[in-house]
Protein backbone atom coordinates (compact mmCIF):
# COMPACT_ATOMS: atom_id res chain seq x y z
CA UNK A 1 0.00 0.00 0.00
CA UNK A 2 1.32 3.39 -0.97
CA UNK A 3 -1.10 5.67 0.88
CA UNK A 4 -4.16 5.60 3.15
CA UNK A 5 -6.73 8.38 3.29
CA UNK A 6 -9.52 8.50 5.87
CA UNK A 7 -12.52 10.77 5.78
CA UNK A 8 -15.88 10.92 7.51
CA UNK A 9 -17.52 8.23 5.35
CA UNK A 10 -14.76 5.82 4.25
CA UNK A 11 -11.15 4.71 4.23
CA UNK A 12 -9.24 4.65 0.94
CA UNK A 13 -6.12 2.55 0.40
CA UNK A 14 -4.11 3.47 -2.67
CA UNK A 15 -1.91 0.96 -4.46
CA UNK A 16 0.11 1.31 -7.64
CA UNK A 17 -2.76 0.52 -10.03
CA UNK A 18 -5.88 0.16 -7.88
CA UNK A 19 -7.57 1.72 -4.89
CA UNK A 20 -9.63 -0.07 -2.26
CA UNK A 21 -12.45 1.75 -0.51
CA UNK A 22 -14.12 0.58 2.69
CA UNK A 23 -17.25 2.64 3.26
CA UNK A 24 -18.49 3.06 6.83
CA UNK A 25 -21.63 1.34 8.06
CA UNK A 26 -24.93 3.11 7.41
CA UNK A 27 -23.57 5.62 4.88
CA UNK A 28 -25.57 6.63 1.81
CA UNK A 29 -23.05 7.08 -0.99
CA UNK A 30 -24.50 9.98 -2.96
CA UNK A 31 -23.01 12.41 -5.51
CA UNK A 32 -21.27 14.52 -2.82
CA UNK A 33 -19.41 11.51 -1.42
CA UNK A 34 -18.69 10.26 -4.91
CA UNK A 35 -17.03 13.58 -5.75
CA UNK A 36 -14.70 13.09 -2.75
CA UNK A 37 -13.75 9.68 -4.17
CA UNK A 38 -13.21 11.12 -7.66
CA UNK A 39 -11.08 13.97 -6.30
CA UNK A 40 -8.96 11.56 -4.25
CA UNK A 41 -8.42 9.27 -7.24
CA UNK A 42 -7.55 12.20 -9.52
CA UNK A 43 -5.06 13.55 -6.97
CA UNK A 44 -3.32 10.20 -6.53
CA UNK A 45 -3.43 8.67 -10.02
CA UNK A 46 -3.64 11.83 -12.14
CA UNK A 47 -3.78 10.37 -15.68
CA UNK A 48 -2.46 6.92 -14.75
CA UNK A 49 -4.91 4.02 -15.37
CA UNK A 50 -6.39 2.44 -12.23
CA UNK A 51 -9.21 0.22 -10.98
CA UNK A 52 -11.59 1.07 -8.13
CA UNK A 53 -12.33 -1.76 -5.68
CA UNK A 54 -15.03 -1.34 -3.08
CA UNK A 55 -14.72 -3.80 -0.22
CA UNK A 56 -18.21 -3.93 1.25
CA UNK A 57 -17.39 -4.97 4.79
CA UNK A 58 -20.30 -2.92 6.13
CA UNK A 59 -23.89 -2.33 5.09
CA UNK A 60 -24.42 0.94 3.22
CA UNK A 61 -26.44 2.22 0.30
CA UNK A 62 -25.37 3.64 -3.04
CA UNK A 63 -27.19 6.09 -5.29
CA UNK A 64 -26.63 4.32 -8.63
CA UNK A 65 -26.64 7.63 -10.50
CA UNK A 66 -23.06 8.17 -9.28
CA UNK A 67 -21.86 5.54 -11.76
CA UNK A 68 -22.80 7.78 -14.69
CA UNK A 69 -20.29 10.43 -13.60
CA UNK A 70 -17.74 7.88 -12.42
CA UNK A 71 -17.73 6.20 -15.84
CA UNK A 72 -16.57 9.49 -17.38
CA UNK A 73 -13.19 9.19 -15.66
CA UNK A 74 -10.90 8.38 -18.59
CA UNK A 75 -8.22 6.64 -16.50
CA UNK A 76 -10.66 4.49 -14.49
CA UNK A 77 -10.58 1.15 -16.26
CA UNK A 78 -13.12 -0.70 -14.12
CA UNK A 79 -14.90 -1.27 -10.83
CA UNK A 80 -14.79 -4.35 -8.62
CA UNK A 81 -17.22 -4.96 -5.78
CA UNK A 82 -16.24 -7.36 -3.00
CA UNK A 83 -19.29 -8.55 -1.10
CA UNK A 84 -20.06 -11.76 0.72
CA UNK A 85 -23.60 -10.89 1.80
CA UNK A 86 -26.38 -11.77 -0.71
CA UNK A 87 -28.10 -8.38 -0.32
CA UNK A 88 -24.87 -6.53 -1.10
CA UNK A 89 -24.29 -8.71 -4.15
CA UNK A 90 -27.85 -8.06 -5.33
CA UNK A 91 -27.40 -4.32 -4.92
CA UNK A 92 -24.15 -4.51 -6.87
CA UNK A 93 -25.93 -6.29 -9.72
CA UNK A 94 -28.38 -3.38 -9.96
CA UNK A 95 -25.58 -0.79 -9.77
CA UNK A 96 -23.80 -2.59 -12.61
CA UNK A 97 -26.64 -1.57 -14.93
CA UNK A 98 -25.63 2.08 -14.52
CA UNK A 99 -21.94 1.60 -15.36
CA UNK A 100 -20.67 1.11 -18.90
CA UNK A 101 -17.12 -0.08 -18.21
CA UNK A 102 -15.86 -3.40 -16.79
CA UNK A 103 -17.63 -4.09 -13.50
CA UNK A 104 -17.28 -7.37 -11.61
CA UNK A 105 -18.53 -8.73 -8.31
CA UNK A 106 -16.36 -10.93 -6.10
CA UNK A 107 -16.70 -12.70 -2.77
CA UNK A 108 -13.00 -12.45 -1.91
CA UNK A 109 -10.77 -9.37 -1.99
CA UNK A 110 -7.78 -11.24 -3.44
CA UNK A 111 -9.83 -12.24 -6.49
CA UNK A 112 -10.83 -8.61 -7.08
CA UNK A 113 -7.20 -7.50 -6.81
CA UNK A 114 -6.10 -10.13 -9.35
CA UNK A 115 -8.89 -9.04 -11.71
CA UNK A 116 -7.80 -5.41 -11.32
CA UNK A 117 -4.18 -6.28 -12.11
CA UNK A 118 -5.25 -8.17 -15.23
CA UNK A 119 -7.44 -5.29 -16.36
CA UNK A 120 -4.51 -2.89 -15.97
CA UNK A 121 -2.14 -5.26 -17.73
CA UNK A 122 -4.50 -5.68 -20.66
CA UNK A 123 -5.00 -1.93 -20.80
User: Rounded to whole angstroms, how far apart are CA atoms 6 and 121?
Assistant: 28
pLDDT digits (tens, 9 = 90+) for 33-53: 999 999 999 999 999 999 999
Range of the domain at 60: 3-122
Share of residues in the chain with pLDDT > 90 (%): 86
How much is the average pLDDT of 98-105? Answer: 95
Quote the pLDDT of residue 74.
95
- Look at residues 105, 60, 56, 57 and name the one whose alpha carbon lies nearest to residue 78: 105
* pTM of the entire predicted model: 0.95
pLDDT bucket at 31, cuts 50 / 70 / 90:
very high
Q: Where are the alpha helices (DSSP H) in 46-123?
A: 66-70, 86-96, 109-122
For the domain that residue 16 is a member of, what is the CATH number?
3.30.750.24
**Tally of domains in the chain:** 1
Give the per-residue pLDDT at 112. 98
Tell me, what's the pLDDT at 28? 95
Cα separation of 31 and 27, whole Å?
Answer: 12
Amino acid sequence: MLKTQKNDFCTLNFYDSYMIAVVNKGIHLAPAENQVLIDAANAFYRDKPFVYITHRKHSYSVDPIIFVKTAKMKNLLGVAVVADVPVSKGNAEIEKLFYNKPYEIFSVLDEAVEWAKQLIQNG
